[in-house]
Homo-oligomer: A and B are copies of this chain.
Amino acid sequence: MINSGDTAWVLISTALVILMTPAVGFFYGGMVRKKSILSTMMMCLATLFLISLQWVLIGYTLAFSPTKGGLIGGLQWLGLRGVGQLSNPDYAATIPALCFMMFQAAFAIVTPSLIVGAFVERIKFSAFLVFTGLWATFVYDPVAHWVWGVGGWLRALGALDFAGGTVVHVTAGFSALAIAMVIGKRIGYGKDNMEPGNIPLVVIGAVLLWFGWFGFNGGSALAANGLAVNAFVVTNTAAAAAATVWMILSWLHRRPSVLGVATGAVVGLVAITPASGFVDTMAAIVIGGLAAVISYYMIVLRMTLRIDESLDAFACHGMGGAWGAIATGIFASKVVNPAGADGLLLGNPGLLGTQVIAVAATAVFSFVVTYVLAVLVDLVVGLRVTSNEELVGLDISQHAETI
């Protein structure tokens, strides 16, 4: 039976999550140099267009229709055939099946937009479009099926991922690392200063991400109930804890910067994502706080290694998501969610093992498939603009526009 309160909540949550994709565009767009701000925003917008269509045509059926051996969905729901206004109790008994489809669409859309941070300021727009279409189909859709699809092998194994720590963040983060390695550094990387072009725009992005994340995690309860509320509360708390810790870390180093706390907040949001339906508020403080430490030092390491994974999708999403998934194995509690499981601290080390497997599997799969896709796209279309186009900036060279 369709419940109007649950439907209202999942609908508005969906709208919030869809807002996150352009928000990533603001967040990333403000962090690149002035000559490529529009290009960065454009890539996130294009992800929204492209995957909106890919998902209703093919993505949803690959991820959620009846499984083929636990690895991938079938083609039964191609073009949304049979996905209608009645509920599908396999996934959510009190909202229309179309509503579940759309909520999931928002996740499928936002995930590839996170990878944009890896190749800003140097990718050819056409290559970006091809890559993103392929990535959604060959990385996101299978992993979503493994973890969330009925019959998916990680779901069957008992892996817990409330709102996408593995499906969204581990995939995006490890893929970002892979494609950054293929496409190479920006000209002048490590030598020229790469001043962020518009910090207020970064803040607008971060704030809309925080706002949207209430739908991301809260909506993942698929109902307007106590579990949704729990997810909402721990989301806010973890973000606050992570931003605070990041502020302290950068203060110890020198000065607490706006860029820093905005990043910290996002890292906290990432880390609580898989855990948000299984842990309580005090655990959220720990999860968020440690996430900040982990991602902070991962960025330090990344810079030391002189890898131009330009906006640190790997350090923030890859590591944040991995930590969150593992933390779920540590802090999960059946008091919070009877349908979940107890974690290590409540005497169940098994869950932690399962979580590690889930992280490892999605990380390796994402890295390898993305690496192959990136090399392929490079061969066929060419990933990178000419050095002259790169120096002039992607706004002019790819879109004939300036801010």
Contacts and interface: CB of A to CB of B under 8 A. Distances in A.
B199 A258 contact: no
B199 A403 contact: yes
A50 B237 CA distance: 10
B53 A4 contact: no
B4 A247 contact: no
A37 B204 CA distance: 13
Contacts of A236: 18, 52, 102, 105
Interface residues of A, number: 93
Given A11-B218, A37-B200, A102-B233, A226 B49 contact: no
Nearest to A22: B207
A385 to B, nearest CB: 13
A348 interface: no
Interface in A204-233: 204, 207, 210-211, 214-215, 218, 223-230, 232-233
Interface string A279-310: 01110010000000000000000000000000
Chain A interface, DSSP helix/strand/loop, else mixed? helix
B200 A41 contact: yes
A7 interface: yes
25 contacts: A4-B6, A4-B224, A5-B5, A7-B9, A7-B229, A9-B11, A14-B214, A18-B214, A19-B207, A38-B199, A38-B200, A38-B258, A41-B203, A41-B258, A45-B203, A45-B207, A45-B261, A46-B261, A49-B247, A52-B240, A85-B225, A95-B229, A99-B229, A105-B236, A200-B403
Interface of A: 2-9, 11-12, 14-16, 18-19, 22, 25-26, 29, 37-38, 41-42, 45-46, 48-50, 52-53, 56, 79-80, 84-86, 95-96, 98-99, 101-102, 105, 125, 198-201, 203-204, 207, 210-211, 214-215, 218, 223-230, 232-233, 236-237, 239-241, 243-244, 247, 254-259, 261-262, 265, 280-282, 285, 398-403
